[in-house]
């Protein structure tokens, strides 16, 4: 598998995890007895995933000559 193909595959994996976290976070916030620390950790992880996805997408963007 080529490097760009590996990057695309990793982006898909991270996007799936990002969506899964979104579902968990939404379910937790509906629970009045939710664990605030766990919720903060999940939100932080979700942000880290988003940043990682963005960095990987930048790697796929070809350099445009100035």
Residue 32 CA, distance from chain mean position: 26
Among the listed residues 45, 5, 4, the one whose alpha carbon sits nearest the alpha carbon of residue 22: 45
Residue-level pLDDT at 24: 96
Q: How many angstroms separate the CA atoms of 18 and 4, rounded?
A: 21
Tell me if 11 sits within 8 A of 56, measured CB to CB. Answer: yes
Residue-level pLDDT at 30: 95
Give the model confidence (pLDDT) of 27-53 as tens digits: 999 999 999 999 999 999 999 999 999
Tokens of 40: 């903060």
What is the percent of the chain where pLDDT is above 90? Answer: 83
| Average confidence score pLDDT of the chain | 93
Tell me if 2 sits within 8 A of 59, measured CB to CB. Answer: no
Look up the pTM and report it.
0.83
């Amino acid at each position: 598998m080529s490097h760009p193909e590996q990057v695309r595959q990793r982006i898909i994996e991270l996007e799936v995890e990002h969506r899964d976290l979104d579902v968990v976070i939404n379910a937790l916030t509906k629970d009045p007895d939710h664990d605030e620390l766990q919720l903060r950790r999940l939100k932080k992880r979700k942000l880290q995933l988003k940043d990682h996805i963005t960095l990987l997408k930048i790697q796929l963007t070809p350099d445009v000559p100035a």
